[in-house]
Each structure stands twice: as C-alpha cells, then as structure tokens.
C-alpha cells in the first residue's frame, strides 16, 4: 500500500468500512505489526468480511493455547461455508469430524467435504484418497482420488500416486509426469518424495510409451464421496509387562498413514523441548536431542484425527483427554535419555501442569518407520526393550494403581546409530485436556 493511501484507508476503516479494515490489517501484517493487524482483522471479521473471518479462523486453529477460542473459529467457518468457499468448507469438515470446538456431525461434515471436492480443492481430494485407501476393496477409487489430487498439485498426493504407480507398472519410473510430481512434492517439503526420487534415479527399470490413464480408472464425484467414515482401528494388544502395563500392537497404522504423518510433520520440525520440572514450562533440554512438532488444528485433518482416535482408543481413554499429537524425528546419535512422562508431584512446576487435565496417565507411541538402526524404546527399571517396527503401537501406563507416578515408568529412546527414526506420540491425561487454554 502506497504511503499516500494509508491515510484514506485508515479513515475509512475508522468509519466502519470492513474492506478498508481488512486492507489495513494486511498492511500491518506486511510490516510485522501483528497486534495492530489482529485488532483490525478482528474488526473486519466482526462486520462479516469473509476473508477476514477465514483469516481469524485459521489463526485460531493454528495457534497453540487457543483451546478456549475453538468455538469462535468454528463460528466463523459456519458463517463462511454457505458461500461455498472451498477452504472454509474443508476446514469445517475436519472440525465436524474431530469435534474440536463444535459438535461432531458426520452428515454435515460429508456435505462440507463434498463442496470442497466439487470446487477441486486438492486437499479435499487427498483426504478422500486416504479414506478409500483404508479399504482394500476401494483400491481403484483411492488411486483415482490420489491421481486427481496429484493433478491438482497436492504434494503428498503426488508422492502417494507416484509410489502406487510404481507398484502397478515399473515403466512409470521413467514417466515424465511422475518424475515431475516427485520433484514438485520434494520441493514443497514432502521428505519421502525426495528419498523415492533419489532411489528411482539410481535404478535401471524398463521404459516404454504408455498412458498413465491406462493404469488409473476415472472416478466420479459420486463414487469418490461414497466412503465410510473411519472408526478407530481395533487392535490386539500383546502385554509386555504388567503393573503398570506396557503393551504393543503391530500394524496399528498402515504404511501410507505413517507416510502421511511424516510428510506433514517434516516441514514443521524444530528442536524438541521438554517440561522444566521447576516451572512447568516447555524448554530446550539436553535430555532430549531430537527434533519434533505438534499438530495444530490447521495441520490436523480427518486423516490425522483418525490416527489420534486410534491411539486414544488403544489407551482406553476419550480423545479429549489427549495432548496434541506430536511427531519426533531422530537422526544418528540423537536420543531421548531416561525420563518419566508422568509429572512428579514434588517438582515445583508440576501443579501447574496437573491443573490442566490431571496426570499424564498413559503414553501412546507409534513407530512411523523402521529403516534405521538403534532407536529402541528401553525401560531400564524393567529390563524391557521394545524394537521399532513401522506401524507398531506401544502403550505404556505411567502410574501405579493409586495414581502416583511409577518408578517403572522410566523409559528412554535409545540413540539412533544409522538412518532416521520417526515416531508419533500422544500423552493421555486423566481428565479432559483439549479445549483448555495452554499458557506456555
């Protein structure tokens, strides 16, 4: 915005012009004057400015510590969806499935998702592909949805479609469009696309002229929308130790689900943090040398929500008791030294953490890959060591029967010696934790 324009826009904004308020908010955003930007954006949203409402909704969903404002974010989205806005419909579909800030309504979620699909929102087609991919009888529809999402430019779908096509016909390794998909996905942060691209460039496969469309059956929107909502996967837990429980279940997640979590986590990684026992705040700590991230609600779609539900169901606790899904990444030499997940009552910062949902009663881990060496989960006080296996879920109880932290809850992520380890983690509280204001 030119200097001469600022004065007239400011005057219009002060008189209640919502479009001027939105323009002024963006002006302050470009100058990183976030407090002023928020003030004007909220004013514009309150006056019904659609783009301002969407911005406010996304900001609330993206920010940690906004648990109590989730209802406000959903109210903004509800206002916008009737205009047919694709992104707003997609975000609301996710919230209606997850039940964060709004009551679960699967019929309405389906309608919102279909609106986004008909508008050709790439992310909506990607989620449809994953919903169908969970059923072997829907493999053709899943491939068609991946192909559609990839054609629309969705990075993960480009990786997933390429990986599936390689299995269908080895000639696809030399097909230009598939290579372009992988190159684009890699440039846009899909870590696994880069690995796959490097792998196929070193291989000598058959080549030939053919059309990818010959391998992919076209699907209609009606066929694509004929999916079943995913229920938490029922797992058969094998007990490793008792009192408190340590148990595992193989194949809790499919490889494509593991890849999905890794792909969305990778661009958001930062140095891992741990709770400071003296203050209750999250800080850098040499006990934990990995990198990691937590899924905010803008990252969390129906697929990620399904993963969380499966993990919570394995713990036997409602999802509302879970802390946000976290992903940990370990490179060679990195580890998580012996530690307790439970808050120790005598620590000065413990009461602050216990006031929000109570104790971390259980921990649920899922190994997202296994093409690395080292990195086992070790319980030094129990002479128990769990070896990683892609898709395997590990459940551990952190407390004794009386609710006090157990000495047997001490565990460690041993150093990775070769390759890279990916792990999903969710701490489960005794009581409802989500929708609480988290002050870090």
Q: Which residues of 360-397 are buried (b: 16+ CB within 10 A; e: fewer)?
A: bbbbbbbbbbbebebbbbbbeebeeebebebbbbbbbb
Tell me which DSSP letter residue 143 carries.
H
What pLDDT is attached to residue 437?
A: 46
SS3 281: coil
Tokens 């990252």 sit on residue: 299
Check if the beta carbon of residue 194 is closer than 8 Å to that of residue 271.
Answer: no
Q: What is the pLDDT of residue 438?
A: 47
- pLDDT tens sequence for the chain (440 residues): 554 588 899 999 999 999 999 999 999 999 999 999 999 999 999 999 999 999 999 998 887 656 668 889 999 999 999 899 999 999 999 999 998 888 999 999 999 999 999 999 999 999 999 999 988 778 889 999 999 999 999 999 999 998 888 776 555 555 678 888 999 999 999 999 999 888 877 766 555 444 555 556 788 999 999 999 999 999 999 999 999 999 999 999 999 999 999 999 999 998 887 666 666 666 676 777 789 999 987 778 999 999 999 999 999 999 999 999 999 999 999 999 999 999 988 887 788 888 889 999 999 999 999 999 999 999 999 999 999 999 999 999 999 999 999 999 999 999 999 999 999 999 999 999 876 644 44
191-201 helix and 155-168 helix, angle to the nearest 10 degrees: 30
DSSP per-residue letters across 98-133: HTSSS---HHHHHHHHHHHHHTT-HHHHHHHHHHHH
CA-based nearest residue to 422, from 334, 339, 312: 334
| Residue 440 confidence (pLDDT) | 41
Query: Strand order in 377-379's β-sheet?
Result: 336-339, 411-413, 377-379, 384-386
Q: How many CA atoms lie within 13 A of 117 on its CB side?
A: 23
Token couple for 295: 């899924």
Q: What pLDDT does 3 receive?
A: 47
* Tokens found for residue 387: 């070896």
- Retrieve residue 149's tokens: 């999402």
Radius of gyration of the chain (CA): 23
């Amino acid at each position: 915005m030119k200097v001469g324009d600022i004065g007239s826009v400011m005057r219009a904004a002060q008189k209640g012009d919502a479009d001027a308020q939105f323009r002024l908010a963006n002006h302050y955003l470009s100058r990183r004057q976030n407090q002023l930007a928020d003030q004007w954006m909220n004013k514009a949203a309150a006056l019904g400015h659609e783009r301002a409402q969407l911005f406010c909704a996304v900001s609330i969903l993206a920010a940690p510590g906004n648990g109590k404002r989730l209802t406000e974010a959903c109210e903004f989205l509800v206002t916008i969806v009737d205009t047919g806005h694709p992104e707003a419909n997609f975000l609301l579909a996710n919230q209606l499935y997850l039940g964060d800030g709004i009551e679960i309504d699967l019929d309405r979620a389906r309608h919102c998702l279909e609106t986004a699909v008909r508008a050709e929102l790439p992310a909506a087609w990607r989620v449809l592909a994953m919903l169908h991919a969970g059923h072997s009888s829907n493999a053709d529809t899943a491939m068609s949805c991946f192909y559609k999402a990839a054609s629309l430019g969705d990075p993960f779908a480009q990786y997933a479609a390429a990986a599936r096509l390689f299995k269908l016909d080895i000639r696809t390794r030399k097909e230009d469009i598939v290579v372009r998909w992988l190159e684009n996905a890699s440039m846009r942060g899909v870590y696994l696309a880069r690995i796959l691209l490097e792998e196929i460039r070193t291989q000598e496969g058959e080549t030939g002229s053919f059309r990818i469309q010959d391998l992919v059956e076209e699907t209609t929107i009606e066929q694509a929308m004929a999916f079943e909502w995913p229920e938490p996967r029922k797992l058969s837990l094998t007990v490793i130790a008792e009192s408190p429980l340590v148990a595992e279940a193989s194949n809790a997640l499919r490889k494509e689900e593991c890849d999905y979590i890794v792909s969305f986590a990778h661009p958001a990684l930062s140095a891992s943090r741990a709770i400071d026992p003296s203050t209750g705040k999250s800080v850098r700590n040499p006990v934990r040398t990995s990198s990691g991230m937590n899924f905010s609600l803008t990252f969390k779609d129906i697929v990620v929500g399904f993963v969380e539900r499966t993990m919570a169901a394995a713990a036997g606790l409602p999802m509302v008791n879970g802390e946000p899904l976290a992903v940990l990444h370990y490179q060679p030499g990195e580890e998580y030294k012996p530690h307790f997940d439970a808050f120790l009552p005598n620590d000065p910062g413990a009461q602050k953490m216990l006031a929000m949902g109570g104790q971390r009663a259980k921990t649920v881990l899922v190994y997202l890959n296994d093409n690395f060496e080292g990195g086992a989960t070790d319980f030094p006080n129990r002479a128990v060591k769990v070896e990683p296996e892609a898709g395997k879920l590990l459940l551990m109880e952190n407390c004794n029967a009386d609710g006090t932290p157990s000495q047997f809850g001490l565990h460690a992520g041993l150093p990775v010696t070769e390759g890279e380890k990916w792990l999903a983690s969710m701490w489960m509280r005794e009581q409802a934790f989500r929708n609480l204001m988290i002050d870090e």
